[in-house]
Structure 1
Amino acid sequence: MTTPLRPADAPETLPPVSATSAASAAVPARGSRLRISARSAPYVLLLPFLALFLIFGLFPLGFSLYLAFQSWEPTSGLGAMSFVGWDNFRFALSDEWFWKSMWNTLWLAVAGGVPQHLVAIPLACFIHAGFKRWRNIVLGAYFVPYITSTVAVAIVFTLLYSTEYGLINAVLRGLAKWPLIGALMPAQAIDWINDPEHLKPAIAVLVFWRFVGFNIVLYLAGLQAIPRDLYEAATIDGAGPLQQFFHITLPGLKPMILFGVTLSVVGGLQLFEEPFILTPDGRGGSDQAGMTAAVYLYRTAFDFNDFGAASAMSWLLFIAVGALTWAIHRGIGRGLR
């Protein structure tokens, strides 16, 4: 008599395998075919950015350098390009309007940029020390002009600068009634936009108002990075607020000052939107007093259809920006070592 097999001793039996299940077992899952190695994953993820940067960054830059040595009118097509060598650079360096636009740009960069930092540093210190709970609200109020649309800002300032109904001329007429101040006030309303002598100061005020809040944010961030122990030790040693400002605050803000001044120089030399929108003709106003280098580049390319000369001027402007940035780093950056 045979002994029945226990379940453990019973032979293993496999379930029947169909053709469909066998085929699915032989083919790997779809997700496994899309897997990438850990070494190549960063490069694959960077491909969208690299493609956009190549198309909209490097290609325009290289094409601009190529155009600087060509004579080209875009309405004639790409086949109308002709190599002219350094003629576009010679034309730019001998063009009186180009040098006038460079002078206007430098004037506006200094007049609108330097006061920003002279005002932003004390304001940042005041906000840092005087506002604890409401600091973000006050800082946001100063930062609003930076994020406001340039067109909206230019329209508001056009109304402020109006000769007949502008608020600025109304304030000046009110101050003229005071005995001592009236002698210093102009006899008639100032035409801020159409008068070449007052157009550049009007643009500089607009630039100052727009970007001073941005610099306040920068310097407030720098103030928060300065250790409080330094101020406490200085207070124990008997140093007053003014001494602490010059011996602790300013040295601690030097890296941020270098960064902020560099941004102001680069942005000031590329000034385009404010004079383009504020001037009535959009080309620099009367006597080209508000024509910056960027505005003149635009006019050379789209008004005069000379893209080769415009490209050459843009590279000359790039050299000027690089030279001034290097000078700033040599002047301010030397004190950081």
Structure 2
Amino acid sequence: MATALDGKPSPVLADPSAVRGKRGRRAYWHLYAAISPFYLLFLCFGLVPVGFSLYLSFHRWDGLGRMEWAGLSQYRYLLADSDFWSSIGNTVVIWALATFPMVFLAMVTAVMLNSAVRFKNVYRFAYFLPNVTSVVAVAIIFGSVFSTNFGLVNALLQAVGLDQVAWLNTPWGIKVAIATLMTWQWTGYNAIIFLAGLQTIPGELYEAARIDGAGPVATFFRVTLPLMRPVLLFVLVVSTVTGLQSFSEPQVLLQNTANESAFSGGPGHAGRTMVLYFFQQTFDNNDFGYGAAVAWGIFLVVALFSIVNWRLVQRRGEE
């Protein structure tokens, strides 16, 4: 520390680093103020509700009366709840029926868009349009398409000599209809993501593959697919998160197919997904405490599937 001639510390030169630090923080206060609304809104509408839902999951509450401490009884009941496990099974089957065809179609579409020369932007807009279309409106249209008596799908089946299928009244028909809707909705979005990844691959690699005598199929599996692995991982994780949280598709598609609540999932509860079951327990039964426990169970299932997908893709990349 600098001292004056009389041996006392100089007030001007005392701890200059601290002075610079204070001045630096004060100089950027307007930048912190500019970004503060996001963090305040995230705190109010993100972290606080999440924390409250965890607190609520340990209580019994109907939304109006007094909360009653329940401890871990909500989670013990959740583990033994056959309806919850049934909703997990429905969700996983619908997710599998939708995700794998969707990823395949999105990759094929992206490769075709990447090789197209004319009207690229028109094709991109056309494929991306389903993703920005209202899910409710699309579900109503798909309900007509899969109608038993007047649906387009059954009309096509009859045209080739096959029998009609009660798509929205049988367990597998319900799952296929929901998965088809989700595939149609997300294929274009993921095709755009794949297209962005394809356009980052240097053209010299394809030229070298052609010189080495590799055909289109070998080039795709030896050059394109390995370099697209990070993009594929992103698409799989996002598709897992969105697919396992499906709600609007089965709720709107099946709301008029059973004489039960709008969250029943159709005949036999074949379309009752995890989120649909959460809404049924929370808003139909007014059991907000158990609904919060179901929500945390859904979070663990989605996290588990996301980790498994990530590990599988990473392991194949290491091989």
The TM-score bracket by the shorter chain reads: 0.7 to 0.9
Are 1:160 and 2:113 an aligned pair?
no
Runs of 4+ in 1 over 3 A off after TM superposition: 334-337
Segments of structure 2 that go 5 or more residues without pairing to the other structure are: 1-24
Residue type at the aligned position of 2:101? P
Secondary structure of 2:240's counterpart equals: helix
Instruction: Choose the corresponding residue for 2:106, options 109, 115, 120.
Output: 120
Aligned to 1:286: 267
Aligned to 1:60: 49
Whole-Å Cα distance in 2 between the matches of residues 83 and 336 of structure 1?
48
Whole-Å Cα distance in 1 between the matches of residues 268 and 221 of structure 2?
44
Aligned to 2:59: 70
1:1-337 mapped onto 2 (5 Å cutoff)? 37-76=26-65, 80-129=66-115, 131-176=116-161, 185-186=162-163, 189-279=164-254, 280=256, 282-283=262-263, 284-336=265-317
Matched residues, percent identical? 41
Secondary structure of 2:185's counterpart equals: helix
| Matched pairs, number | 288
TM-aligned CA deviation for residue 333 of structure 1: 2.1
Whole-Å Cα distance in 1 between the matches of residues 60 and 313 of structure 2?
41
Whole-Å Cα distance in 2 between the matches of residues 264 and 245 of structure 1?
23
Residue type at the aligned position of 1:141? A
TM-aligned CA deviation for residue 144 of structure 1: 0.8
Residue type at the aligned position of 1:94? A
Q: Deviations over 1:129-151 (max 9, x none)?
A: 1x123111112111111110011
Q: Deviations over 1:286-321 (max 9, x none)?
A: 100000000000000001111111111111111111
Whole-Å Cα distance in 2 between the matches of residues 57 and 139 of structure 1?
33
TM-aligned CA deviation for residue 336 of structure 1: 4.4
Whole-Å Cα distance in 2 between the matches of residues 168 and 327 of structure 1?
35
Residue type at the aligned position of 1:39? Y
Q: Deviations over 1:227-268 (max 9, x none)?
A: 111011111222111111111110111000000000111111
Structure showing greater radius of gyration is: 1
Whole-Å Cα distance in 2 between the matches of residues 67 and 75 of structure 1?
13
Q: Deviations over 1:174-203 (max 9, x none)?
A: 010xxxxxxxx22xx222112233111111
Residue type at the aligned position of 1:65? L
Whole-Å Cα distance in 2 between the matches of residues 171 and 75 of structure 1?
52
Whole-Å Cα distance in 1 between the matches of residues 216 and 135 of structure 2?
38
Is the 1:255–1:336 Cα contact (8 Å) retained in structure 2? no
Residue type at the aligned position of 2:274? A
Residue type at the aligned position of 1:119? L
Secondary structure of 1:332's counterpart equals: helix
Whole-Å Cα distance in 1 between the matches of residues 159 and 123 of structure 2?
30
Is the 1:120–1:215 Cα contact (8 Å) retained in structure 2? yes
TM-score, structure 1 normalization: 0.83
Residue type at the aligned position of 1:290? G
Whole-Å Cα distance in 1 between the matches of residues 39 and 73 of structure 2?
34
